Structure 1
Amino acid sequence: MSYLAPIVVGVLYVLAMSLIRAPHRRPFNAIMVAGAGAAYISGGGFGVWEFPAVAALTYVAYRGLESWTWIGVAWLMHTAWDLLHHVKGNPIIPFSHDSSLGCALCDPVIALWCLRGGPSLITLVRERAARGGTAGEAAPRT
């Protein structure tokens, strides 16, 4: 498995979410992470423990309806669950052995974006370009 591909997927997710205008972006992402939290339930790799894990992640995602920080925490919780499933050998996609590892690499990218407040990357790039800088440069002082 390429370790770069899941990171690229995380960046593409953030770019796609950047197309959703505020204030709708945050609740949409809270719903997305809640859905991601339920992804393992059909596989049942940890038996009955899948239920409290999903319940905890759903609660944190619910808190994310009002807070980007909680959404970031939920993505990090999902990352931990991904890693546990990878180590146990019960991947999120049954026919793709490293799919949980890929998810564990992708999710922190999304979590970092959420912990930064879920800004529109497209708007950030446009604003920097309008100020005469590039996305990688600091804004000029005025």
Structure 2
Amino acid sequence: MIAVLAPIVIGLVYVALNSLITEPHRRKFNALMVGGAGAAYLSGGALGPWELVFCAVTTYVAFRGLDSWTFIGIGWLLHTAWDVVHHLKGQPILPFAHGSSFGCAICDPVIAIWCFTGGRSVWTRIGHGERRVSREA
């Protein structure tokens, strides 16, 4: 149970912390994070030259993400698929943590969903809901 809940919480914490970054910096920062995630498996080389192909694809997606939350979300979902492949192959993202790719495959879609909704600050939405004041007075 903790193997599933912890990655969800990590994804939510990621969203909450990123929500503190103002736009357009938030989108650009997340595009960089997707680019970095695309290279995360390079040192392990479990899938040979396919690791380089995946890195090139996510680099392109991250570049497009500089101007598009949709591309950032796509990048996180691509990384999710790569996490699943590495988990099934027995080559986790963190060699010392056997379930790390499994956890990453759960965490990444949480972030992707947020990206597909426009990567809006969760704090602004909460604050907006609390500050509703009638201006008709």
TM-score (norm 1): 0.90
Gaps of 5+ in 1: 133-142
Q: 1:135: which partner in 2?
A: none
CA deviation vs aligned residue, 1:82-121 (integer Å, no higher than 9, x gap): 0000010000000111100000000000000000000000
Paired residue total: 132
- Quote the Cα distance in structure 2 between the aligned partners of 1:54 and 1:23: 25
- Quote the Cα distance in structure 2 between the aligned partners of 1:24 and 1:123: 16
Q: 1:83: which partner in 2?
A: 84
Q: 1:139: which partner in 2?
A: none
- Quote the Cα distance in structure 1 between the aligned partners of 2:101 and 2:15: 19
- Quote the Cα distance in structure 2 between the aligned partners of 1:76 and 1:105: 10
TM-score (norm 2): 0.94
Taking only aligned residues, the RMSD between alpha carbons, in angstroms, comes to 1.0
- Quote the Cα distance in structure 1 between the aligned partners of 2:110 and 2:97: 21
Deviating 4+ runs (over 2 angstroms):
none
Q: 1:22: which partner in 2?
A: 23
**Paired letter, 2:122:** L
1:50 offset after TM fit, Å? 0.2
